[in-house]
Structure 1
Amino acid sequence: MFFGVVFFGIFGIILFAIVYSTLKSAFSGNSNDNNSTAYSRERDNDIVTISRLQIALLALATDVQSGLTELSLRVDTSTEEGLQELLQESVLILLRSSEYWTHHVNSSQKINIDQAEAKFNSLSLEERSKLSSETLSNIEGNIKEKSVISPDDESAMYIVVTLLVGTAHDKPLFEDIRTPDDLKEALNSLGSMPSDYLLKFELMWSPQTENDSLTYDEFISEYSNMIDLI
Protein backbone atom coordinates (compact mmCIF):
# COMPACT_ATOMS: atom_id res chain seq x y z
CA MET A 1 0.00 0.00 0.00
CA PHE A 2 1.27 3.45 -0.83
CA PHE A 3 0.51 6.77 0.81
CA GLY A 4 1.00 9.96 -1.18
CA VAL A 5 1.39 13.53 -0.05
CA VAL A 6 2.01 16.57 -2.25
CA PHE A 7 3.37 19.94 -1.10
CA PHE A 8 3.96 22.92 -3.38
CA GLY A 9 6.19 25.74 -2.13
CA ILE A 10 7.30 29.14 -3.32
CA PHE A 11 10.81 27.69 -3.65
CA GLY A 12 9.78 24.21 -4.51
CA ILE A 13 7.38 21.33 -4.78
CA ILE A 14 7.60 18.13 -2.86
CA LEU A 15 5.84 14.98 -3.86
CA PHE A 16 6.27 12.37 -1.17
CA ALA A 17 5.21 8.80 -1.90
CA ILE A 18 6.08 6.23 0.73
CA VAL A 19 5.55 2.52 1.06
CA TYR A 20 3.00 2.28 3.86
CA SER A 21 4.00 -1.21 4.91
CA THR A 22 7.63 -2.01 5.69
CA LEU A 23 10.11 -1.76 2.86
CA LYS A 24 10.90 -5.43 3.08
CA SER A 25 7.31 -6.58 2.79
CA ALA A 26 6.86 -4.36 -0.23
CA PHE A 27 9.17 -6.72 -2.10
CA SER A 28 7.73 -10.00 -0.90
CA GLY A 29 6.55 -12.44 -3.52
CA ASN A 30 7.59 -15.48 -5.50
CA SER A 31 8.91 -15.83 -9.04
CA ASN A 32 8.22 -18.71 -11.41
CA ASP A 33 10.98 -17.71 -13.83
CA ASN A 34 14.10 -19.85 -13.43
CA ASN A 35 16.17 -17.07 -14.93
CA SER A 36 15.08 -14.52 -12.34
CA THR A 37 16.85 -16.01 -9.30
CA ALA A 38 19.45 -13.24 -9.07
CA TYR A 39 16.80 -10.61 -9.68
CA SER A 40 14.62 -11.96 -6.86
CA ARG A 41 17.57 -12.27 -4.50
CA GLU A 42 18.49 -8.63 -4.96
CA ARG A 43 14.90 -7.49 -4.74
CA ASP A 44 14.01 -9.40 -1.58
CA ASN A 45 17.10 -9.11 0.64
CA ASP A 46 17.80 -6.56 3.40
CA ILE A 47 19.96 -4.20 1.32
CA VAL A 48 18.47 -1.13 -0.38
CA THR A 49 19.95 1.88 -2.13
CA ILE A 50 19.17 5.54 -1.38
CA SER A 51 19.95 7.93 -4.23
CA ARG A 52 19.80 11.67 -4.78
CA LEU A 53 20.09 13.26 -8.21
CA GLN A 54 19.88 17.05 -8.39
CA ILE A 55 20.00 19.13 -11.56
CA ALA A 56 20.21 22.89 -12.04
CA LEU A 57 18.78 24.34 -15.24
CA LEU A 58 18.78 27.79 -16.75
CA ALA A 59 15.59 29.73 -16.01
CA LEU A 60 14.69 29.53 -19.71
CA ALA A 61 13.50 25.97 -19.05
CA THR A 62 10.03 27.13 -17.99
CA ASP A 63 8.40 23.98 -19.40
CA VAL A 64 10.05 22.06 -16.57
CA GLN A 65 8.08 23.91 -13.90
CA SER A 66 4.74 23.71 -15.68
CA GLY A 67 5.32 20.09 -16.70
CA LEU A 68 6.19 18.89 -13.20
CA THR A 69 3.24 20.77 -11.70
CA GLU A 70 0.77 19.24 -14.16
CA LEU A 71 2.28 15.78 -13.70
CA SER A 72 2.17 15.89 -9.90
CA LEU A 73 -1.49 16.90 -9.87
CA ARG A 74 -2.45 14.25 -12.43
CA VAL A 75 -0.62 11.09 -11.35
CA ASP A 76 -2.19 8.73 -8.79
CA THR A 77 0.62 7.83 -6.41
CA SER A 78 -1.56 5.48 -4.39
CA THR A 79 -0.55 2.68 -6.79
CA GLU A 80 2.81 1.22 -7.77
CA GLU A 81 2.03 2.00 -11.39
CA GLY A 82 1.29 5.63 -10.60
CA LEU A 83 4.48 6.02 -8.59
CA GLN A 84 6.51 4.54 -11.44
CA GLU A 85 4.74 6.84 -13.92
CA LEU A 86 5.65 9.84 -11.80
CA LEU A 87 9.32 8.88 -11.84
CA GLN A 88 9.36 8.06 -15.55
CA GLU A 89 7.57 11.23 -16.62
CA SER A 90 9.74 13.40 -14.35
CA VAL A 91 12.81 11.89 -16.03
CA LEU A 92 11.36 12.57 -19.49
CA ILE A 93 10.68 16.21 -18.62
CA LEU A 94 14.28 16.64 -17.53
CA LEU A 95 15.70 14.84 -20.58
CA ARG A 96 13.68 17.05 -22.93
CA SER A 97 15.32 20.11 -21.37
CA SER A 98 18.89 18.81 -21.40
CA GLU A 99 20.15 21.83 -23.36
CA TYR A 100 19.46 23.96 -20.25
CA TRP A 101 21.39 21.81 -17.75
CA THR A 102 24.20 23.68 -16.01
CA HIS A 103 25.06 21.98 -12.70
CA HIS A 104 24.40 18.77 -10.83
CA VAL A 105 25.08 16.84 -7.66
CA ASN A 106 24.47 13.17 -6.98
CA SER A 107 24.84 10.47 -4.36
CA SER A 108 23.85 6.82 -4.31
CA GLN A 109 24.52 4.59 -1.31
CA LYS A 110 23.59 1.02 -0.49
CA ILE A 111 22.38 0.64 3.08
CA ASN A 112 20.76 -1.89 5.38
CA ILE A 113 17.00 -1.72 5.23
CA ASP A 114 16.81 -0.91 8.95
CA GLN A 115 18.68 2.36 8.33
CA ALA A 116 17.09 3.26 5.02
CA GLU A 117 14.13 5.25 6.32
CA ALA A 118 16.32 7.46 8.51
CA LYS A 119 18.78 8.05 5.69
CA PHE A 120 16.06 8.96 3.22
CA ASN A 121 14.34 11.28 5.67
CA SER A 122 17.64 12.99 6.48
CA LEU A 123 18.22 13.77 2.79
CA SER A 124 14.62 14.90 2.44
CA LEU A 125 14.86 17.30 5.38
CA GLU A 126 18.15 18.65 4.07
CA GLU A 127 16.53 19.55 0.75
CA ARG A 128 13.23 20.73 2.18
CA SER A 129 15.07 23.14 4.47
CA LYS A 130 16.11 25.03 1.34
CA LEU A 131 12.48 25.71 0.43
CA SER A 132 10.38 28.65 1.52
CA SER A 133 6.70 28.72 2.58
CA GLU A 134 4.16 26.54 0.79
CA THR A 135 1.98 28.22 -1.82
CA LEU A 136 -0.06 25.17 -2.79
CA SER A 137 -0.60 21.93 -0.91
CA ASN A 138 -2.42 18.81 -2.02
CA ILE A 139 -2.69 16.25 0.76
CA GLU A 140 -4.89 13.30 -0.15
CA GLY A 141 -7.03 15.55 -2.36
CA ASN A 142 -7.29 18.40 0.16
CA ILE A 143 -5.96 21.33 -1.89
CA LYS A 144 -5.00 24.66 -0.37
CA GLU A 145 -3.59 27.58 -2.32
CA LYS A 146 -1.91 30.88 -1.53
CA SER A 147 -1.40 33.62 -4.06
CA VAL A 148 2.21 34.49 -4.84
CA ILE A 149 3.72 37.39 -6.74
CA SER A 150 6.83 36.31 -8.64
CA PRO A 151 9.74 38.68 -8.08
CA ASP A 152 10.78 40.88 -10.98
CA ASP A 153 14.50 40.27 -10.72
CA GLU A 154 16.81 40.45 -13.71
CA SER A 155 19.39 38.40 -11.84
CA ALA A 156 17.08 35.37 -11.63
CA MET A 157 18.85 32.54 -13.42
CA TYR A 158 18.19 29.01 -12.22
CA ILE A 159 15.67 26.22 -11.59
CA VAL A 160 16.74 23.26 -9.45
CA VAL A 161 15.09 19.82 -9.61
CA THR A 162 15.78 17.14 -7.03
CA LEU A 163 14.95 13.42 -7.25
CA LEU A 164 15.23 11.33 -4.08
CA VAL A 165 14.77 7.62 -4.69
CA GLY A 166 14.80 4.53 -2.49
CA THR A 167 15.21 1.28 -4.42
CA ALA A 168 15.82 -2.43 -3.87
CA HIS A 169 19.21 -2.38 -5.58
CA ASP A 170 22.27 -3.90 -3.87
CA LYS A 171 24.71 -1.36 -5.29
CA PRO A 172 24.74 2.37 -6.14
CA LEU A 173 22.74 3.38 -9.20
CA PHE A 174 25.39 5.84 -10.38
CA GLU A 175 28.79 7.07 -9.31
CA ASP A 176 30.91 9.52 -11.28
CA ILE A 177 28.73 11.96 -13.22
CA ARG A 178 30.65 14.70 -14.98
CA THR A 179 29.17 15.30 -18.42
CA PRO A 180 25.66 15.74 -19.84
CA ASP A 181 25.95 12.25 -21.34
CA ASP A 182 26.74 10.81 -17.90
CA LEU A 183 23.69 12.60 -16.52
CA LYS A 184 21.47 11.31 -19.32
CA GLU A 185 22.63 7.77 -18.57
CA ALA A 186 21.79 8.19 -14.87
CA LEU A 187 18.33 9.56 -15.67
CA ASN A 188 17.65 6.75 -18.14
CA SER A 189 18.61 4.26 -15.44
CA LEU A 190 16.02 5.78 -13.11
CA GLY A 191 13.36 5.96 -15.79
CA SER A 192 13.73 2.32 -16.80
CA MET A 193 13.55 0.97 -13.26
CA PRO A 194 11.07 -1.90 -12.67
CA SER A 195 8.12 -0.83 -10.55
CA ASP A 196 8.79 -3.50 -7.91
CA TYR A 197 12.25 -2.03 -7.33
CA LEU A 198 10.89 1.43 -6.54
CA LEU A 199 10.35 1.76 -2.78
CA LYS A 200 10.14 5.46 -2.17
CA PHE A 201 10.27 8.60 -4.28
CA GLU A 202 10.34 12.29 -3.51
CA LEU A 203 10.36 15.02 -6.15
CA MET A 204 11.20 18.68 -5.50
CA TRP A 205 11.84 21.69 -7.65
CA SER A 206 12.71 25.24 -6.81
CA PRO A 207 11.04 27.59 -7.48
CA GLN A 208 7.66 25.98 -8.15
CA THR A 209 5.98 28.94 -9.85
CA GLU A 210 6.33 29.07 -13.62
CA ASN A 211 8.39 32.04 -14.86
CA ASP A 212 9.99 32.39 -11.42
CA SER A 213 13.61 31.40 -10.85
CA LEU A 214 16.42 31.51 -8.32
CA THR A 215 18.81 34.43 -8.34
CA TYR A 216 22.48 33.66 -8.61
CA ASP A 217 22.94 34.59 -4.94
CA GLU A 218 20.09 32.27 -3.89
CA PHE A 219 21.51 29.49 -6.01
CA ILE A 220 25.05 29.64 -4.62
CA SER A 221 23.72 30.09 -1.08
CA GLU A 222 21.33 27.12 -1.02
CA TYR A 223 23.03 24.82 -3.54
CA SER A 224 26.72 25.51 -3.00
CA ASN A 225 27.61 21.83 -3.36
CA MET A 226 26.46 21.61 -6.98
CA ILE A 227 29.18 21.30 -9.62
CA ASP A 228 29.39 22.35 -13.25
CA LEU A 229 28.63 19.89 -16.02
CA ILE A 230 31.58 19.71 -18.38
Structure 2
Amino acid sequence: MLKHIGRTCRSLLALALALILALAPVSAVWARSGGRIGGGSFRSPTFSAPRSVGPRSAPVYPSYGGGLGFPLVVPLFWGGGGSLLALLLLIGAGSFLVRSLRSAVAEEEEVGDPQVTVAQVKVGLLASARQLQKEINALALEADTQSPEGLSQLLQEVSLGLMRYSDYWAYGYAEAEKLPLSRAESLFYQASLQERSKFSAETLTNRNNQIQQLPQAALRRAAAGIPEVGEYLVVTLLVAYRGNLGTLPVVKSVAELRQWLMQLASIPAERIVAIEVLWTPQLEGDTLSAEALLTEYPEMRLL
Protein backbone atom coordinates (compact mmCIF):
# COMPACT_ATOMS: atom_id res chain seq x y z
CA MET A 1 0.00 0.00 0.00
CA LEU A 2 2.75 2.44 1.01
CA LYS A 3 4.74 1.55 -2.12
CA HIS A 4 1.67 2.24 -4.26
CA ILE A 5 1.18 5.65 -2.60
CA GLY A 6 4.87 6.44 -3.10
CA ARG A 7 4.69 5.60 -6.80
CA THR A 8 1.53 7.72 -7.17
CA CYS A 9 3.19 10.70 -5.44
CA ARG A 10 6.26 10.44 -7.66
CA SER A 11 4.07 10.29 -10.76
CA LEU A 12 2.11 13.38 -9.65
CA LEU A 13 5.37 15.22 -8.88
CA ALA A 14 6.79 14.39 -12.30
CA LEU A 15 3.57 15.57 -13.95
CA ALA A 16 3.64 18.80 -11.95
CA LEU A 17 7.23 19.50 -12.94
CA ALA A 18 6.42 18.85 -16.58
CA LEU A 19 3.49 21.28 -16.41
CA ILE A 20 5.66 23.92 -14.73
CA LEU A 21 8.30 23.65 -17.44
CA ALA A 22 5.65 23.71 -20.17
CA LEU A 23 3.78 26.70 -18.77
CA ALA A 24 6.73 28.68 -17.44
CA PRO A 25 7.95 31.69 -19.40
CA VAL A 26 10.72 30.94 -21.87
CA SER A 27 13.11 33.14 -19.93
CA ALA A 28 12.78 30.94 -16.84
CA VAL A 29 13.51 27.77 -18.78
CA TRP A 30 16.47 29.27 -20.63
CA ALA A 31 17.96 31.26 -17.76
CA ARG A 32 21.07 29.09 -17.86
CA SER A 33 22.03 29.07 -21.53
CA GLY A 34 25.78 28.58 -21.77
CA GLY A 35 28.59 28.50 -24.28
CA ARG A 36 31.82 26.55 -24.39
CA ILE A 37 34.99 26.92 -26.44
CA GLY A 38 37.95 24.64 -25.89
CA GLY A 39 40.57 22.26 -27.08
CA GLY A 40 43.83 20.57 -26.26
CA SER A 41 44.66 17.16 -24.88
CA PHE A 42 46.43 15.70 -21.89
CA ARG A 43 47.35 12.79 -24.17
CA SER A 44 49.32 14.77 -26.74
CA PRO A 45 52.65 13.37 -28.04
CA THR A 46 54.46 15.80 -25.75
CA PHE A 47 53.30 13.78 -22.76
CA SER A 48 52.58 10.29 -24.10
CA ALA A 49 56.15 9.66 -25.23
CA PRO A 50 59.01 10.23 -22.75
CA ARG A 51 61.90 12.17 -24.14
CA SER A 52 64.78 10.15 -25.54
CA VAL A 53 67.32 9.39 -22.88
CA GLY A 54 70.59 7.78 -23.82
CA PRO A 55 72.02 4.82 -21.94
CA ARG A 56 73.25 5.78 -18.54
CA SER A 57 76.91 5.25 -17.90
CA ALA A 58 78.41 4.85 -14.52
CA PRO A 59 80.63 7.71 -13.33
CA VAL A 60 84.29 7.15 -14.12
CA TYR A 61 86.80 7.70 -11.41
CA PRO A 62 90.59 7.67 -11.69
CA SER A 63 92.08 4.27 -11.22
CA TYR A 64 94.98 3.79 -8.89
CA GLY A 65 97.38 0.95 -9.56
CA GLY A 66 95.12 -0.86 -12.06
CA GLY A 67 92.58 -1.78 -9.40
CA LEU A 68 88.93 -0.74 -9.19
CA GLY A 69 88.12 2.56 -10.86
CA PHE A 70 87.19 4.17 -7.54
CA PRO A 71 89.05 6.06 -4.85
CA LEU A 72 88.54 3.14 -2.47
CA VAL A 73 91.82 1.77 -3.71
CA VAL A 74 93.69 4.54 -1.99
CA PRO A 75 96.16 2.69 0.24
CA LEU A 76 93.94 1.52 3.05
CA PHE A 77 96.55 0.66 5.54
CA TRP A 78 98.37 3.85 6.25
CA GLY A 79 99.46 3.49 9.76
CA GLY A 80 96.93 2.17 12.22
CA GLY A 81 93.95 4.15 10.86
CA GLY A 82 93.59 2.27 7.61
CA SER A 83 90.42 0.42 8.66
CA LEU A 84 88.73 3.64 9.77
CA LEU A 85 89.65 5.37 6.51
CA ALA A 86 88.24 2.46 4.50
CA LEU A 87 85.01 2.61 6.49
CA LEU A 88 84.63 6.36 5.90
CA LEU A 89 85.26 5.91 2.19
CA LEU A 90 82.68 3.12 1.99
CA ILE A 91 80.09 5.29 3.76
CA GLY A 92 80.81 8.17 1.37
CA ALA A 93 80.50 5.90 -1.65
CA GLY A 94 77.20 4.49 -0.38
CA SER A 95 75.82 7.99 0.18
CA PHE A 96 76.85 8.98 -3.33
CA LEU A 97 75.12 5.96 -4.87
CA VAL A 98 71.90 6.56 -2.92
CA ARG A 99 71.78 10.20 -4.07
CA SER A 100 72.40 9.14 -7.66
CA LEU A 101 69.60 6.57 -7.55
CA ARG A 102 67.15 9.07 -6.05
CA SER A 103 68.03 11.62 -8.70
CA ALA A 104 67.50 9.04 -11.47
CA VAL A 105 64.11 7.99 -10.05
CA ALA A 106 62.98 11.64 -9.75
CA GLU A 107 64.03 12.29 -13.33
CA GLU A 108 62.13 9.28 -14.64
CA GLU A 109 59.01 10.32 -12.70
CA GLU A 110 59.23 13.82 -14.18
CA VAL A 111 59.46 12.36 -17.69
CA GLY A 112 56.53 9.97 -17.18
CA ASP A 113 54.21 12.31 -15.22
CA PRO A 114 55.33 15.93 -15.71
CA GLN A 115 54.04 18.85 -13.67
CA VAL A 116 51.08 20.78 -15.09
CA THR A 117 49.38 23.85 -13.61
CA VAL A 118 45.60 24.18 -13.78
CA ALA A 119 44.35 27.77 -13.47
CA GLN A 120 40.76 28.95 -13.11
CA VAL A 121 39.66 32.56 -13.57
CA LYS A 122 36.03 33.63 -13.22
CA VAL A 123 34.71 37.11 -13.97
CA GLY A 124 31.20 38.35 -13.22
CA LEU A 125 30.29 41.37 -15.36
CA LEU A 126 27.31 43.69 -15.36
CA ALA A 127 24.80 43.05 -18.13
CA SER A 128 25.86 46.36 -19.68
CA ALA A 129 28.81 44.41 -21.13
CA ARG A 130 26.52 42.65 -23.61
CA GLN A 131 28.92 43.51 -26.43
CA LEU A 132 31.51 41.18 -24.86
CA GLN A 133 28.96 38.38 -24.98
CA LYS A 134 28.51 39.01 -28.72
CA GLU A 135 32.28 39.01 -29.23
CA ILE A 136 32.72 35.66 -27.47
CA ASN A 137 29.79 34.22 -29.45
CA ALA A 138 31.51 35.28 -32.67
CA LEU A 139 34.84 33.91 -31.46
CA ALA A 140 33.23 30.53 -30.82
CA LEU A 141 32.32 30.29 -34.49
CA GLU A 142 35.76 31.31 -35.74
CA ALA A 143 38.37 30.05 -33.25
CA ASP A 144 40.82 27.31 -34.19
CA THR A 145 40.63 25.01 -31.19
CA GLN A 146 42.74 22.16 -32.56
CA SER A 147 46.23 23.70 -32.74
CA PRO A 148 48.40 25.10 -29.92
CA GLU A 149 48.66 28.38 -31.84
CA GLY A 150 44.87 28.58 -32.14
CA LEU A 151 44.42 27.89 -28.44
CA SER A 152 47.01 30.53 -27.60
CA GLN A 153 45.18 33.06 -29.74
CA LEU A 154 41.86 32.09 -28.12
CA LEU A 155 43.33 32.65 -24.67
CA GLN A 156 44.70 36.03 -25.67
CA GLU A 157 41.48 37.17 -27.34
CA VAL A 158 39.28 36.26 -24.37
CA SER A 159 41.72 37.69 -21.80
CA LEU A 160 42.08 40.96 -23.73
CA GLY A 161 38.33 41.13 -24.30
CA LEU A 162 37.69 40.80 -20.58
CA MET A 163 40.28 43.47 -19.78
CA ARG A 164 38.68 45.88 -22.26
CA TYR A 165 35.47 45.58 -20.25
CA SER A 166 37.09 45.89 -16.81
CA ASP A 167 34.82 48.85 -16.02
CA TYR A 168 31.94 46.37 -15.91
CA TRP A 169 33.61 43.85 -13.60
CA ALA A 170 31.55 43.21 -10.48
CA TYR A 171 32.83 39.88 -9.15
CA GLY A 172 36.00 37.87 -9.60
CA TYR A 173 37.84 34.74 -8.57
CA ALA A 174 41.11 33.03 -9.53
CA GLU A 175 43.21 30.10 -8.37
CA ALA A 176 46.00 27.90 -9.73
CA GLU A 177 47.35 24.53 -8.65
CA LYS A 178 50.42 22.67 -9.90
CA LEU A 179 49.99 18.90 -10.07
CA PRO A 180 51.37 15.82 -11.83
CA LEU A 181 49.86 15.40 -15.28
CA SER A 182 47.49 12.58 -14.30
CA ARG A 183 45.99 14.56 -11.41
CA ALA A 184 45.94 17.81 -13.39
CA GLU A 185 43.82 16.17 -16.09
CA SER A 186 41.29 15.02 -13.52
CA LEU A 187 41.11 18.47 -11.88
CA PHE A 188 40.72 20.24 -15.23
CA TYR A 189 37.78 18.14 -16.40
CA GLN A 190 36.13 18.16 -12.97
CA ALA A 191 36.23 21.96 -13.00
CA SER A 192 34.82 21.99 -16.55
CA LEU A 193 31.96 19.65 -15.64
CA GLN A 194 31.16 21.70 -12.56
CA GLU A 195 30.81 24.86 -14.65
CA ARG A 196 28.81 23.12 -17.38
CA SER A 197 26.40 21.67 -14.83
CA LYS A 198 25.23 25.23 -14.12
CA PHE A 199 23.80 25.53 -17.64
CA SER A 200 20.33 24.33 -18.58
CA ALA A 201 21.71 23.83 -22.09
CA GLU A 202 24.95 24.41 -23.97
CA THR A 203 23.53 26.51 -26.76
CA LEU A 204 26.86 27.08 -28.57
CA THR A 205 30.02 24.96 -28.39
CA ASN A 206 33.30 24.70 -30.25
CA ARG A 207 35.38 21.82 -28.98
CA ASN A 208 38.39 20.80 -31.11
CA ASN A 209 36.84 22.63 -34.09
CA GLN A 210 33.55 20.71 -33.75
CA ILE A 211 30.89 23.44 -33.65
CA GLN A 212 27.38 22.74 -32.37
CA GLN A 213 24.62 25.33 -32.13
CA LEU A 214 20.89 25.20 -31.41
CA PRO A 215 18.61 25.84 -34.38
CA GLN A 216 17.96 29.53 -35.03
CA ALA A 217 14.24 29.13 -34.30
CA ALA A 218 15.03 27.94 -30.78
CA LEU A 219 17.45 30.82 -30.28
CA ARG A 220 14.88 33.41 -31.35
CA ARG A 221 12.20 31.84 -29.15
CA ALA A 222 14.53 31.81 -26.13
CA ALA A 223 15.64 35.40 -26.63
CA ALA A 224 12.19 36.93 -27.07
CA GLY A 225 11.23 39.69 -24.68
CA ILE A 226 13.68 39.09 -21.82
CA PRO A 227 14.69 42.21 -19.84
CA GLU A 228 18.36 42.93 -19.19
CA VAL A 229 18.16 45.28 -16.22
CA GLY A 230 20.11 44.24 -13.11
CA GLU A 231 21.54 41.06 -14.65
CA TYR A 232 25.04 39.60 -15.07
CA LEU A 233 27.34 37.78 -17.45
CA VAL A 234 29.88 35.24 -16.13
CA VAL A 235 32.97 34.19 -18.09
CA THR A 236 35.16 31.31 -16.85
CA LEU A 237 38.66 30.54 -18.11
CA LEU A 238 40.20 27.10 -17.49
CA VAL A 239 43.82 26.81 -18.55
CA ALA A 240 46.19 23.85 -18.15
CA TYR A 241 49.83 24.60 -18.95
CA ARG A 242 53.30 23.25 -18.27
CA GLY A 243 55.31 24.92 -15.53
CA ASN A 244 53.98 27.85 -13.55
CA LEU A 245 53.65 31.63 -13.72
CA GLY A 246 55.24 32.43 -10.40
CA THR A 247 53.36 33.84 -7.43
CA LEU A 248 49.95 35.26 -8.27
CA PRO A 249 47.82 37.29 -5.82
CA VAL A 250 44.51 36.38 -4.22
CA VAL A 251 41.89 38.26 -6.21
CA LYS A 252 40.40 41.04 -4.11
CA SER A 253 40.42 43.91 -6.59
CA VAL A 254 40.20 44.75 -10.27
CA ALA A 255 43.99 45.25 -10.41
CA GLU A 256 44.70 41.74 -9.10
CA LEU A 257 42.23 40.14 -11.47
CA ARG A 258 43.81 42.06 -14.34
CA GLN A 259 47.24 40.73 -13.32
CA TRP A 260 45.96 37.15 -13.58
CA LEU A 261 44.53 37.71 -17.04
CA MET A 262 47.69 39.40 -18.31
CA GLN A 263 49.90 36.55 -17.13
CA LEU A 264 47.63 33.86 -18.56
CA ALA A 265 47.51 35.67 -21.89
CA SER A 266 51.32 35.63 -22.00
CA ILE A 267 51.65 31.80 -21.82
CA PRO A 268 53.55 30.58 -24.94
CA ALA A 269 51.63 28.27 -27.25
CA GLU A 270 54.08 25.40 -26.71
CA ARG A 271 53.32 25.36 -22.97
CA ILE A 272 49.54 25.16 -23.32
CA VAL A 273 48.03 21.73 -22.62
CA ALA A 274 44.29 22.49 -22.71
CA ILE A 275 41.93 25.47 -22.57
CA GLU A 276 38.22 25.93 -22.03
CA VAL A 277 36.23 29.16 -22.09
CA LEU A 278 32.74 28.91 -20.61
CA TRP A 279 30.24 31.74 -20.43
CA THR A 280 26.65 32.24 -19.36
CA PRO A 281 24.24 33.39 -20.54
CA GLN A 282 25.19 32.62 -24.13
CA LEU A 283 21.95 33.72 -25.75
CA GLU A 284 21.93 37.46 -26.32
CA GLY A 285 18.48 37.93 -24.78
CA ASP A 286 19.02 35.56 -21.85
CA THR A 287 19.81 36.80 -18.34
CA LEU A 288 21.57 35.74 -15.17
CA SER A 289 20.11 37.25 -12.02
CA ALA A 290 22.13 38.48 -9.05
CA GLU A 291 20.57 35.76 -6.91
CA ALA A 292 21.56 33.06 -9.39
CA LEU A 293 25.10 34.41 -9.64
CA LEU A 294 25.62 34.42 -5.87
CA THR A 295 24.08 30.94 -5.56
CA GLU A 296 25.99 29.29 -8.40
CA TYR A 297 29.31 31.11 -7.92
CA PRO A 298 29.74 31.55 -4.14
CA GLU A 299 33.54 31.57 -4.49
CA MET A 300 33.55 34.86 -6.41
CA ARG A 301 34.37 38.04 -4.50
CA LEU A 302 32.86 41.46 -4.91
CA LEU A 303 35.48 43.68 -6.57
Q: TM-score, normalised by structure 1?
A: 0.81
Query: What is residue 17 of structure 1 aligned with on the other side?
Result: 39
In structure 2, the CA distance between the partners of 1:61 and 1:125, relative to structure 1 (3 Å rule), is same
The amino acid across from 2:270 in the alignment is D
Please list every run of 5 or more consecutive structure 2 residues that lacks an aligned counterpart in the other structure: 1-30, 53-106
The amino acid across from 1:163 in the alignment is L
Equivalent positions of 1:52-91 (< 5 A) are 52-91=120-159
Farther-moved stretch of structure 1 (166-175 vs 208-217): 166-175
Q: How far apart are the structure 1 equivalents of 2:165 and 2:51?
A: 37
Query: What is residue 35 of structure 1 aligned with on the other side?
Result: none
SS of equivalent to 1:61: helix
Greater radius of gyration (CA): 2
* Per-residue deviation, residues 57-87 of structure 1 (Å, max 9, x unmatched): 0000011111111112111112111111100
Q: How far apart are the structure 2 equivalents of 1:138 and 1:187?
A: 22
In structure 2, the CA distance between the partners of 1:92 and 1:154, relative to structure 1 (3 Å rule), is closer
Equivalent positions of 1:52-131 (< 5 A) are 52-131=120-199
The amino acid across from 2:35 in the alignment is I
Aligned residues: 209
Share of identical aligned residues, percent? Answer: 32
Contact 1:10 1:132 in 2 (8 A): yes
The alpha carbon displacement at 1:153 in A equals 3.9
Q: How far apart are the structure 2 equivalents of 1:175 and 1:72?
A: 30
**Structure with more of its chain in helix, by fraction:** 2
Query: What is residue 280 of structure 2 aligned with on the other side?
Result: 206
Farther-moved stretch of structure 1 (14-23 vs 181-190): 14-23
SS of equivalent to 2:231: strand
Contact 1:108 1:172 in 2 (8 A): no
* Per-residue deviation, residues 107-131 of structure 1 (Å, max 9, x unmatched): 1001111211111111111111111
Farther-moved stretch of structure 1 (127-136 vs 180-189): 127-136
The amino acid across from 1:127 in the alignment is E
In structure 2, the CA distance between the partners of 1:184 and 1:137, relative to structure 1 (3 Å rule), is closer
The amino acid across from 2:47 in the alignment is K
Q: TM-score, normalised by structure 2?
A: 0.62
Query: What is residue 58 of structure 2 aligned with on the other side?
Result: none
Farther-moved stretch of structure 1 (132-141 vs 216-225): 132-141
Please list every run of 5 or more consecutive structure 1 residues that lacks an aligned counterpart in the other structure: 1-8, 30-40
Contact 1:156 1:213 in 2 (8 A): no
In structure 2, the CA distance between the partners of 1:144 and 1:53, relative to structure 1 (3 Å rule), is closer
The amino acid across from 1:71 in the alignment is L
In structure 2, the CA distance between the partners of 1:130 and 1:99, relative to structure 1 (3 Å rule), is same
